Homo-oligomer: A and B are copies of this chain.
Amino acid sequence: MIIEAATKSFSLFGYKATTIDQVARLANVGKGTIYTFFRNKEELFDEIIKSLIKEMKDTADASIDPELSFYENVHRALYSILRYRKEHQLTIKLFQEERDMGTPAVIDVMVKLEQMILKYIAEQIIVAMEKGEIKQCDPELTAFVMLKLYISLIFDWEKTREPLRKEQILELFELYIFKGLSK
């Protein structure tokens, strides 16, 4: 009940604007009860983020299709993960709070989230290299480049221009990262 109430409140109001009193009220428990299960507000927050990360990972895993090529699978996994930022209440709120207020606890969590995504991609890259599907490269750096390219295409491009369609993003991803511009 506490986790459910806290998730709802964090999603609606963000980390800073969520008070323990409110979570206790929403969860129909006394305030002290929360502190028998969580050492403090941040630990409660971390617990919720832990399930969020698990959920994202599962979604990404589910989006991968062994029949398809590596680059298409990376595209699918990345796309499904990054859709969270745009469509899930909690991640939207946290993303805004990080940008607008710079709440330290939120920054911490967003860094963790990015690290998890990078680790996930890097693992896929290592497998693809072992299979001989792609050239030898630094997995960490390649994952970083892929993620940044995606974020640019999905979030930054839309700030000033017409949003790109899903297939367009796939094409661009293929063109720039896999095939290369050289003739």
Contact = CB atoms under 8 A, between A and B. Distances in A.
A134 B182 contact: yes
Interface residues of A, number: 28
A135 B178 contact: no
Contact of A152 (B135, B145, B180): B145
A176 B147 CA distance: 13
A177 B180 CA distance: 5
A38 B181 CA distance: 46
A174 to B, nearest CB: 9
Given A145-B149, A178-B181, 7 more contacts: A133-B183, A135-B179, A141-B172, A148-B156, A149-B152, A176-B176, A178-B182
